[in-house]
């Protein structure tokens, strides 16, 4: 005597029962993605885990950190942004990096460290309202609040203290 059983799973019903607003629509482990414009790589993101949320959030989260490489020409990385946590807010077209943020400009040999950084992809600007340090070849700049272009070639800094290689120290308000 034999018995035959059958069951059917409706994916929409399963999603309704198991998914919440806090459940990502997409999860990618060991991510390495290149973003291009007209066939030229503009930037790449490397992360151990990416969680993407569709409407209504339109949010991508990198809870375990990420590395963002910004290209200035063919195969030429001009700056790198790393952080222990990051969000991409699609509606606002911004990336928010938090916790141990390091932004390096290889052309100027400068590195910015801070705890929070906002990158406006539309305006191609990067800013922080937090304490920051910029270390260059022969200087160290510290302050609170900074606005720069995404390649970190020119910037406006606030409440600044500067140390030069000769151990001079200047303070600018």
Mean pLDDT of 106-126: 91
Query: Could you state, in order of their start, the residue ranges of all structural domains in the chain?
Result: 25-172
The 10s digit of each residue's pLDDT in 15-60 is 555 566 678 888 999 999 988 888 888 889 999 999 998 877 889 9
- The model carries a pTM of 0.78
CA distance 60 to 24: 9
Mean pLDDT of 82-98: 94
* C-alpha of 67 from chain center: 7
Using a pLDDT cut of 70, give the percent of the chain over it.
Answer: 81
Exposure of 21 in the CB half-sphere (CA atoms within 13 A): 4
Neighbouring residues of 38: CB distance < 8 A, sequence distance ≥ 6: none
Question: How is residue 56 written in tokens?
Answer: 């209504």
Which CATH code is given to the segment(s) 25-172?
Answer: 2.60.450.10
pLDDT for 131 = 95
Asked if the peptide bond before residue 56 counts as cis, ω within 30 degrees of 0, the response is yes
Judged by average pLDDT, the poorest of 37-41, 113-117, 121-125 is: 37-41
Identify the DSSP state of 57.
T
Neighbours of 155 (CB within 10 A): 18
- Residue 81, beta-bridge partner list: 68, 103
């Amino acid at each position: 005597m034999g018995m035959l059983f059958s069951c059917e799973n409706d994916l929409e019903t399963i999603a309704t029962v198991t998914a919440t607003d806090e459940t990502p629509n997409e999860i990618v482990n060991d991510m390495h993605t290149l973003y291009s414009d007209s066939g030229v790589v503009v930037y790449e993101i490397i992360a151990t885990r990416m969680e993407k949320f569709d409407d209504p959030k339109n949010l991508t989260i990198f809870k375990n950190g990420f590395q963002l490489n910004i290209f200035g020409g063919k195969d030429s990385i001009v700056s790198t942004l790393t952080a222990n946590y990051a969000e991409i807010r699609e509606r606002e077209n911004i990336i928010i990096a938090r916790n141990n943020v390091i932004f390096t400009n290889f052309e100027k040999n400068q590195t910015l460290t801070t705890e929070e950084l906002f990158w406006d992809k539309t305006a191609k600007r990067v800013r922080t309202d937090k304490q920051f340090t910029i270390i260059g070849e022969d200087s160290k700049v510290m302050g609170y609040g900074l606005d720069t272009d995404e390649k970190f070639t020119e910037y406006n800094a606030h409440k600044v203290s500067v140390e030069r290689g000769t151990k001079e120290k200047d303070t600018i308000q």
